Structure 1
Amino acid sequence: MAELNTEWALEKLRGFLRVLELRYVPDGPNTFGFAHYALANPKEEVQAAAQVAEQILDRIVLDWRTADWIAPAKQAWWRHREATHRAIAQLEAQEELEANLGSVGPKLSAASLHPWVWGSIAGLWGSGHFGEAVGAAARAINAQAQSKLGRRDASEWALLSDAFSPNRPIEGHPRLRLSEDDGGDTFRNQHAGAGDLARGLYRAVRNPLSHEETEIAENVALEYVAAFSVLARWVDAAEVLPADN
């Protein structure tokens, strides 16, 4: 994913705040006896600006959709408004923060994961259903692998372990190849390792989560889906090697 364009992001976020401006609605015959504040701009304009702003917020204020540090309020779009103020402050002070606080290490955004993974979990992640999101990522990779290999007789770790096998393909068992088979250890280790990763993720992560009712912490779920994202990239990048005719 390309590096964030700070100036562009600031322009979009500041514009979003302008679109979110409120107007005072005094007490009158159409307010049921209550004066209040309402959006000054049409709902369609707010929604259009939010479509872009939300994607920026996902990169900068990672937990803005579910964080309890945002005070509840009755005004419309309050969570968006507070998160946008925070994102603007972060972007404006980024160089100063790095100069004075030093590097804090890389940060992983869920939105930077492989499209198979993020595309399947975005809604669940935004609503705080992190355990279900991990399961959805696992199912998405399985569906893509079955489609790519043209197989429905196996699934999950059994399918991918077989597909990444360093052995030659046989009828009904096409292989996924990340590199050409030159007979060397690197080829065998690469493909055996890919199969091992698939076995570990589906058996040690996906299967236990499917039988647990308790939710898992966001940071733990992010580590899990990041691992599934690696597997997704390998499945996506691999070429299918069918059995010799």
Structure 2
Amino acid sequence: MDNERAIEVLEFWVRTAKVASGGNGTGPVKPNTALFRTLQEREDQTRRVLAQALGQVRLPDILRESSANSNYWVDSGVRKAEYALGKLRTEKETQDILGSTAPTMTADALHPLIWDAASKRWESGHYSDAVQRAATALSGHVKDRTGRYELGDADLVAQAFSLAEPQPGKPRLRWPGKDDDLTVKSMRQGILNLAQGVFAAIRNPASHSTDETPRQEALEQLATLSILARWIEKCEFVTA
């Protein structure tokens, strides 16, 4: 919603309704007057703007016909519009006070393997080193599960999560499920791709670069390592 235009619409309504009702918005509005016709013309637009400003589904009544005579009342609509105006005018200030409503994630909620490896270096502000240690821990975990200590990271994950059948001395880590299930196939392919990407684009730069990774970027990298660790934890050990 365009807040500035919405404020203009509501200000016009309040101003016109008050004049039409005697100056304060509490008196009756007589029909068949120029001001009444102006309110009628703006009624639908004002109701829709007001509903969105207030977060309501139903359109509020702002021009009510009197049950006693042919006059109309605008007092309820004026009060609602004035409340909405205050809300729109102070919305940015309110957001600054309350802070962002975006979801947050704490680092210690990451997979324990990842956070335990990263926590000490993270707390001292060494974010690249924290990521490197977490990735090393994950690599070690895959080696422990497969027994393939002789392989480097690239060959390790390529063989551990290979879609080919296991061979003697070359076990696999497989997402559980039936081989012909499309979701299972997708998960197996995705884990292989993610594992290769993680070690190529996260661990290697963290290990070889002297540049310090920004805190937010490092946290996102740890989160990526964490979801991979959770998926690996669910994988079954399959041998020839």
TM-score normalised per structure 2 = 0.57
Task: Pick from 225, 232, 235 the counterpart of residue 235 of structure 1.
Answer: 232
Change (3 A) 1:166 1:228: same
Unaligned runs of 5+ in 1: 1-96
Query: Partners in 1 of 2:191 and 2:153 — Cα distance?
Result: 13
Q: Which has the larger radius of gyration?
A: 2
2:157/2:192 contact within 8 Å kept:
yes
Query: Partners in 2 of 1:208 and 1:128 — Cα distance?
Result: 18
Partner secondary structure for residue 176 of structure 1: strand
Partner secondary structure for residue 173 of structure 2: strand
Corresponding residue for residue 195 of structure 2 = 198
Unaligned runs of 5+ in 2: 1-93
Alignment of 1:73-222 (within 5 A): 101=98, 104-222=101-219
Partner secondary structure for residue 206 of structure 1: helix
- The count of residues paired between Structure 1 and Structure 2 equals 146
RMSD of aligned C-alpha atoms?
1.9
Aligned residue type for 1:108: M
Query: Partners in 1 of 2:117 and 2:232 — Cα distance?
Result: 16
Change (3 A) 1:120 1:142: same
Aligned residue type for 1:152: Y
The structural deviation recorded for 1:112 is 0.6
TM-score normalised per structure 1 = 0.56
